[in-house]
């Protein structure tokens, strides 16, 4: 689900690409190659029963797991170095969409040697029709460390890859890799290429550039149109916007894992509007923080701010979940291939 706004020429009003409209439980199981609905349904039976029992016991209070990265770092076991790396390499993708008056905001992560970002494909197109939010040449990545903005490079087809042109129908391929016009310095986070099966209850960390419907205020950084104080690499600001001065982070848990096909993760992460592209991390056996998946969709807004609740017997209006698409070795190989195919202008 996109939040689409009519915007004046001179100002970008903050709009956000939310996690996509949810598919039904049956659709989710049918659309993932290798997943059998009966197996998934059986896997959820005990979980759904347990969750419903909690509700029956009168659990009406729910503590939002989200908070500012700086406030959550100790709880999440993040080192000072990891916090800095997160702020430098995870941030906003903003596509003003001036031609069709659609402004899209999503979370993205810098990958590889710092010359590319990975995010949801539906950040750049209509999730049903595949119509692009043109002009994509105006899209940029803005980190939440020094707020450097870098233009995305859509100048030729060897500088980006969309894994689907219809994210709603192919949610399990809702990923995109795009070159940056300038390198982001510093160490990026690697993917969890061990790809060990995840079990219900396994710990996750999810980081979002932004989410809506937060119960707390996030300090903002205002970027005016044509501002010279905020560095813009590979282009200029032709819009104005406000962004969070630091990411939103939370501890959450695996609820169900799909090992085949997409490597998708159902979790109890709070993924309200604006969570698209949020990075789901795991702590590897090497002690390092590794990116495992990107948030792709969640339950209906009416189910936001409620504990995890999903299953074949749960009405659509009551669904509450977060679904993330896996970042696997194939995506990692594509990043390396794009990285080797072209070189940044400043490196030539």
In the predicted structure, residue 233 carries a pLDDT above the cut 60: yes
Residue 3 lies in a domain: no
Instruction: Tell me if 189 sits within 8 A of 117, measured CB to CB.
Output: no
Classify strands 265-267 and 160-162 as parallel, antiparallel or unpaired: unpaired
How far is 261 from 32, CA to CA, in rounded Å?
6
How far is 273 from 299, CA to CA, in rounded Å?
10
pTM: 0.82
For the domain that residue 71 is a member of, what is the CATH number?
A: 2.40.10.120
Mean pLDDT of 205-223: 91
Residue 1 lies in a domain: no
Instruction: Tell me if 294 sits within 8 A of 163, measured CB to CB.
Output: no
Structure tokens at 338: 């794009």
Task: Name every residue whose Cβ is closer than 8 Å to that of residue 121 and which is 6 or more positions away in sequence.
Answer: 162, 163, 164, 165, 167, 173, 174, 175, 176
| pLDDT band of 58, cuts 50, 70, 90 | very low
In the predicted structure, residue 150 carries a pLDDT above the cut 80: yes
Residue 300 parent element (H or E):
none
Structure tokens at 325: 């698409």
**CA Rg, the chain, in Å?**
19
Main-chain phi, psi angles of 73, to 5 degrees: -60, -40
pLDDT at 195: 83
Mean pLDDT of 228-241: 65
* Residue 278: cis peptide before it, omega within 30 degrees of 0: no
Main-chain phi, psi angles of 156, to 5 degrees: -155, 160
How far is 127 from 21, CA to CA, in rounded Å?
9
Task: Name every residue whose Cβ is closer than 8 Å to that of residue 97 and which is 6 or more positions away in sequence.
Answer: 103, 104, 133, 134, 135, 138
Residue 4 lies in a domain: no
Q: How many domains does the chain contain in total?
A: 1
Residue 272 lies in a domain: yes
Residue 117 lies in a domain: yes
Average pLDDT, the chain: 80
Q: What is the pLDDT of residues 306-342, one digit of tens each?
A: 788 877 888 888 888 899 999 999 999 999 998 887 5
How far is 207 from 67, CA to CA, in rounded Å?
10
Burial 37-50 (b: 16+ CB within 10 A, else e): eeebbebbeebbee
Q: What is the pLDDT of residues 249-305, one digit of tens each?
A: 999 999 999 987 779 999 999 988 889 999 999 999 999 999 999 999 888 777 777
SS (H, E, C) 196-212: CCCCCCCEEEEEECCCC
Residue 266 buriedness (CB in 10 A; 0-12 / 13-18 / 19+) = buried
Residue 2 lies in a domain: no
How far is 273 from 308, CA to CA, in rounded Å?
16
How far is 122 from 79, CA to CA, in rounded Å?
32
203 forms bridges with which residues in the sheet? 253
Residue 10 lies in a domain: no
The parent domain of residue 252 ranges over 25-341
117 forms bridges with which residues in the sheet? 110, 178
Burial 153-180 (b: 16+ CB within 10 A, else e): bbeeeebbbbbbebbbebbbbbbbbbbb
251 forms bridges with which residues in the sheet? 205
pLDDT at 9: 24
290 forms bridges with which residues in the sheet? 282
Residue 6 lies in a domain: no
pLDDT at 79: 97
């Amino acid at each position: 689900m996109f939040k689409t706004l009519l915007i004046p020429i001179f100002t970008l009003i903050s709009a956000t690409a939310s996690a996509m409209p949810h598919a039904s439980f049956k659709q989710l199981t049918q659309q993932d190659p290798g997943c059998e609905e009966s197996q998934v349904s059986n896997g959820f039976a005990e979980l759904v029963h347990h969750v419903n029992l909690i509700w029956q016991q009168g659990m009406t209070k729910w503590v939002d797991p989200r908070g500012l990265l700086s406030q959550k770092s100790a709880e999440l076991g993040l080192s000072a170095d990891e916090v800095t790396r997160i702020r430098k390499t995870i941030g906003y993708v903003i596509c003003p969409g001036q031609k069709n008056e659609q402004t899209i905001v999503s979370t993205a992560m810098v990958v590889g040697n710092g010359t590319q970002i990975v995010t949801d494909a539906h950040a750049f197109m209509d999730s049903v029709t595949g119509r692009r939010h043109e002009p994509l040449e105006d899209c940029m990545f803005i980190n939440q460390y020094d707020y450097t903005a870098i233009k995305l490079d859509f100048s030729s087809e060897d500088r980006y890859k969309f894994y689907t042109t219809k994210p709603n129908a192919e949610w399990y391929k809702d990923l995109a890799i795009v070159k940056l016009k300038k390198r982001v310095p510093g160490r990026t986070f690697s993917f969890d290429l061990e790809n060990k099966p995840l079990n219900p209850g396994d710990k996750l960390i999810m980081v979002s550039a932004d989410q809506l419907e937060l119960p707390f205020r996030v300090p903002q950084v205002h970027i005016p149109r044509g501002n010279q104080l905020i560095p813009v690499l590979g282009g200029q600001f032709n819009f104005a916007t406000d962004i969070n001065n630091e990411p939103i982070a939370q501890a959450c848990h695996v609820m169900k894992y799909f090992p085949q096909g997409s490597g998708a993760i159902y979790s109890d992460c709070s993924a309200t509007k604006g969570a698209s592209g949020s990075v789901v991390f795991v702590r590897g056996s090497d002690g390092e923080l590794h990116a495992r998946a990107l948030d792709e969709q969640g339950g209906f807004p009416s189910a936001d701010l409620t504990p995890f609740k999903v299953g074949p017997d749960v009405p659509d209006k009551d669904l509450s979940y977060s679904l993330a698409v896996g970042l696997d070795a194939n995506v990692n190989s594509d990043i390396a291939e794009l990285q080797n195919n072209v070189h940044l202008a400043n490196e030539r």
